[in-house]
Chain A
């Protein structure tokens, strides 16, 4: 089989210039259990040691290796090559920027590997995560307990924990952002507001899921402070319910559900933005 890999020369792309890119095809012997990540390592070790990609745990828990594989954002470490060649596990997605055909490939013979869309490219499969984490920080992702710390743990019931777990399972791999048709688009307010330090681009599914996680934490204040932090088009109201986020999440996190629930809560409070 072949791995068709997006190559981007980061050096020519410095200083805002758009760098040169092309695709390289690598012939690889695939065996049972070979993942896209192990195929990439094989290329690095045997064929081309200049290929660049992020990695760490190789066990689908660290979130390093989110990339676009056969036009679907996935973790390279948990995606089996043979599985793809057999055409299994296809994910139906609404159109998003990365889906556009940029190169032809034969899904029965080849696996197409590209960097995550909606984030600036640095080199080959490595994207700049600064914006992703800027939006993460924008939702103030720090636990703010409602009461002074008791001597022992605060009590929580099972239901609260299992509802929270849906969102705390996020590994921040940015697959959802890569698949989101809204992420990467500029918001209504445009450049002028940005100059004042306000982020107007859609915060994206991962950041909003994180915000929702804190909102529903029963140990935090039962008020609307978390809800109102994203009460505009860059937040809850930017989502158009394409559901790509939930479909691609390797950890089963449903940002779209959290966003929908947050909106209904805001509506109930009568604080919907105009």
Chain B
């Protein structure tokens, strides 16, 4: 592990760049920073290949025009903006869609095995809300294939750095040969880049330092200079010092009882950012996926409907004809999820809990070729073979459109702190994400974040290498944070009675699904928030029985839970204040979209005590925000563009 030194008993690791999270975004960013010659560390609470990206099934949108000629990035952008219910920032969407074809081709060049058309080009399938079949896929294991590919790319770079010293032994001829083959095409790679993985490290806090390198005064000069972690293997605390830090921690699905998300998706990054004084954006927009397997809520890809699957109620009707007769099963997710929920609520579901997804008419061959993973999931987890029987499905939390507020350069308000992927909000998904756009976001914005960091850290950028004094101050700030975090962990472990972690977490998850689920209503949400605040007030009494130093998972759950409460409050306050229905945010008491008042992003931040928070108020940049700050809501106008705001009809 590079740059390790021990001060006051804590190991401190120094790297140019720290990336928290090792899913698609984190790994794609790491490739970029390593290739820019930067010493990069990737920190993850699980092994990178266990990241939730691995579970992505259906595919990645890009206007390649392979499956049907005539598609263009503009059409992709229009579909995305319309799908977002016009809340996405149009310049950000343009950036993503323009970069999409290149991103898919690059993954193919990295070695990803995509499914193919007869002529050998990358295959594409239709997805909800798209005018063209635009979703590139690897059967129904697209995330798995891409995540493994990116990890393999980093393995190659790791091997090169470790054999760097042996390089002189290698014959020159051999080397030239290698360069000719060049796995990265025409792009240049700078030397000196390094990659180090810190696996099964849980990040407990971000560290800021008030001293600046440049001419800015110390007050405005607060930069993100590192983080503190617990090594799960032995519960030791580690400090990390860096010049730029990227949050790529994914979503917060585990805030809800029913979620397709991996159990590790506890929104850690959003909470870390919030506590570092960075605002969250559009947190009330939570995507409920229409088809999650009844019982376990494991995802059944939209690709199943893209390939032609039907949704049936208990009268054996394709009920989507009553909601969106043109688009039917391939309307966008928010609309299909609400339709299913309404069928269930109005007693046309099965056992008042689910509807059926019927694939039988696709035939055995197509199911085996295009949806083999879905078949296995259905058999393993519901005892249903979709070749013979329809799959029981219900809506479940799937994705967070909102997240850490960043600009198109993925930078947050705090210099040196970046966020990308699901944990961030650029915003490209607005009020509802189209299927196939999240994988796209990870690789496009992961790469851009890496490039942005590279620029920031270049000799001309404002994050140029710190002088010795600043470096010392940075490490001192890390050390100070370490001792604070040590106290927090110690206090948690010292408690022998109080509130049980698991029970409190269960109550929170149930509450969020009931009060802030598919359909929302003002009074119910107000009551929900009240209950939430009561639950939150019990968090300081949480205790665990497990005092072990080795793989103390109870301790990690307890630490994750604090973050879940942070996020829950952001989601619920944003949802209550947004008195309209837009995209995934569907209020029965405000059924219409209200562009006059709410064509705007919700900005949620914690402020120091005494600050007044009311919507629309301008807030000065405030360093040194206290962790138990007061929640404040503001609104930020949407950046419109070539697509005029219209009614959203499918």
Question: Chain A residues in contact with chain B, CB under 8 A?
Answer: 9-11, 33, 35, 44-46, 48-50, 52, 54-64, 78, 122-124, 126, 129, 133, 136-137, 140-149, 151-158, 161, 164-165, 168-169, 171-172, 217, 219, 221
B interface residue count range (under 10 / 10 to 19 / 20 to 34 / 35 or more): 35 or more
> By the criterion CB–CB under 8 Å, are B50 and A137 in contact?
no
Chain A binder among B80-88, B115-123, B328-336:
B115-123
A168-B183 contact given A52-B550, A55-B263, A122-B551, CB 8 Å threshold: no
B501 contacts across to A, CB distance below 8 A: 49
> By the criterion CB–CB under 8 Å, are A44 and B554 in contact?
yes
B51 contacts across to A, CB distance below 8 A: 56, 62
A57-B50 contact given A122-B233, A153-B122, CB 8 Å threshold: yes
> By the criterion CB–CB under 8 Å, are A155 and B551 in contact?
no
A143 contacts across to B, CB distance below 8 A: 110-111, 149, 152-153, 156, 183
Q: Which of A50, A61, A64, A156 contacts B116 (CB 8 A)?
A: A156
The residue among A33, A48, A129 with the most chain B CB atoms within 10 A of its own CB is: A33
B185 contacts across to A, CB distance below 8 A: 148-149
B55 contacts across to A, CB distance below 8 A: 57, 59, 61-62
> By the criterion CB–CB under 8 Å, are B551 and A168 in contact?
no
Q: Does B377 contact A (CB under 8 A)?
A: yes
- Closest Cβ of chain B to A182, distance in Å, is 24
* Interchain pairs with CB closer than 8 A, number: 181
A153 contacts across to B, CB distance below 8 A: 104-105, 108-109, 114, 121-122
What is the bound-complex CA distance between A24 and B174, given in angstroms?
Answer: 57
Interface string of B524-561 (1 = CB under 8 A from A): 00000000000000000000111011111110000000
Q: Does B296 contact A (CB under 8 A)?
A: yes
A44 contacts across to B, CB distance below 8 A: 502, 553-554
What is the bound-complex CA distance between A49 and B557, given in angstroms?
Answer: 10
A10 contacts across to B, CB distance below 8 A: 548, 550-551
Q: List 26 A-B contacts (CB under 8 A).
A: A9-B550, A10-B548, A46-B502, A48-B545, A52-B551, A55-B263, A57-B54, A59-B296, A59-B298, A60-B380, A61-B54, A61-B141, A64-B47, A122-B551, A123-B551, A137-B159, A143-B110, A144-B181, A144-B183, A145-B111, A153-B105, A155-B120, A157-B120, A168-B148, A169-B141, A217-B111
Q: Does B281 contact A (CB under 8 A)?
A: no
Q: Which of A78, A142, A151 contacts B381 (CB 8 A)?
A: A78
What is the bound-complex CA distance between A124 and B548, given in angstroms?
Answer: 12
The residue among A49, A122, A152, A171 with the most chain B CB atoms within 10 A of its own CB is: A49
- Closest Cβ of chain B to A11, distance in Å, is 5
What is the bound-complex CA distance between A29 and B111, given in angstroms?
Answer: 46
- Closest Cβ of chain A to B362, distance in Å, is 18
Q: Does B92 contact A (CB under 8 A)?
A: no
Q: Does B8 contact A (CB under 8 A)?
A: no
> By the criterion CB–CB under 8 Å, are A158 and B118 in contact?
yes
- Closest Cβ of chain B to A185, distance in Å, is 25
- Closest Cβ of chain A to B158, distance in Å, is 7
Across the two chains, which residue of chain B brings its CB closest to A167? B113
> By the criterion CB–CB under 8 Å, are B109 and A145 in contact?
yes
